Chain A
Amino acid sequence: MQHGLSVPATFTAVRDLAEAARTAISHLGAPELWLFELELAIVETANNIVAHAQDTDCGRIDLYVSVPAGPNGRFILEFRASGHALARHHLDNVRMAPPEAESGRGLALISTCVDELHYERSGEINIWRLVKIL
């Protein structure tokens, strides 16, 4: 089953992405902590797009969700947004920021919350693909 949603690239609209993903998977009875980790991964990915990738104030984030048919399946999230490319070295050695850091935890949290994290660029479009196994 696949779902698609497009929202403005704003921090407030990021919440709609998380809500859509929760709704898409609600029938599978996933544990609350699993759902929280999924939501956190979605929010942190989208926040990164809003904060770092956007080069205009009127960009959008497109999210495609592939929901497994039943338990033990792969929940796949694909984010597409135009903007600046991610420097690859950021994905090579992801570490949690030190306690005194006020930022920089997003990528490490995403990596912790999902089973697979992929990034690629297609023309001017950044594509993030997250896989979380239920």
Chain B
Amino acid sequence: MIGVKLEAGVLWIKPYGQRLDAAVAPTLRAAVADALAQRPHLTIINAESLTFVDSTGLGAIVAIMKQMDPQGALAIAGAGPNLKRLLAMTGLDQVFRLFPDVAQAEAALLGTAR
């Protein structure tokens, strides 16, 4: 299951399972389709529960980024060591904004101190 919320141009995504892989990626794409039609300016993905992501899951995240406002940003919060390793291997750690947790992502990107 994947939680999705769009509010004031910001798309929040939270996968509730441990894996974002080829079996789950179509569910993610379907879950965000309506929100992406609004061209959000910012997407924050809460990756705290994810222990495994494969290239198909990563491709779904890239697809999200490509459907956003071109001037916007996609952030991944709470990525564990495995996801960080994958992002480094693919060079996407230089494309996505990475934060230790959602609170720090929100503070940096939305200016909301908690």
CA distance A53 to B95 in the complex (A): 31
CA distance A102 to B54 in the complex (A): 12
Within residues 7 to 39 of chain A, which ones have a CB less than 8 A from any CB in chain B?
A: 10-12, 14-15, 32-33, 36-37, 39
B89 within 8 A of A: yes
Which chain B residues border A99 with CB–CB below 8 Å? 62, 90-92, 94-95
A114 within 8 A of B: no
Within residues 29 to 66 of chain A, which ones have a CB less than 8 A from any CB in chain B?
A: 32-33, 36-37, 39-40, 43-44, 47, 50-51
A97 to chain B, nearest CB (A): 8
Chain B interfacial residues counted at CB < 8 A: 24
B89/A43 in contact, CB under 8 A: no
A103/B90 in contact, CB under 8 A: no
CA distance A40 to B20 in the complex (A): 12
Complex partner residue of A14 from B22, B86, B94, CB under 8 angstroms: B22
With known contacts A15-B21, A32-B81, A44–B91 Cβ distance under 8 A: no
Within residues 37 to 65 of chain B, which ones have a CB less than 8 A from any CB in chain A?
A: 52, 54-56, 58-60, 62-63
Within residues 1 to 59 of chain B, which ones have a CB less than 8 A from any CB in chain A?
A: 19, 21-23, 52, 54-56, 58-59
What 0/1 pattern do residues 85 to 99 of B give for CB contact below 8 A with A? 110011110110000
B55/A112 in contact, CB under 8 A: no
B60 to chain A, nearest CB (A): 8
With known contacts A33-B81, A105-B90, A109-B89, A100–B54 Cβ distance under 8 A: no
A14/B91 in contact, CB under 8 A: no
Q: Which residue in chain A gives the minimum CB-CB distance to B95?
A: A99
A-B contact pairs, 5 of them (CB 8 A): A11-B56, A15-B23, A33-B81, A101-B62, A105-B55
- Taking A32-B82, A36-B85 as given, write out 6 further A-B residue pairs in contact, using a Cβ cutoff of 8 Å, ordered by the A residue number: A11-B22, A15-B23, A32-B81, A33-B82, A99-B90, A99-B95
Which 5 A-B pairs have CB atoms at the shortest separation, nearest pair first? A11-B22, A105-B55, A11-B23, A102-B59, A36-B82
Hey, which bits of chain A sit against chain B, CB under 8 A?
10-12, 14-15, 32-33, 36-37, 39-40, 43-44, 47, 50-51, 96-97, 99-103, 105-106, 109, 112-113
Hey, which bits of chain B sit against chain A, CB under 8 A?
19, 21-23, 52, 54-56, 58-60, 62-63, 66, 81-82, 85-86, 89-92, 94-95
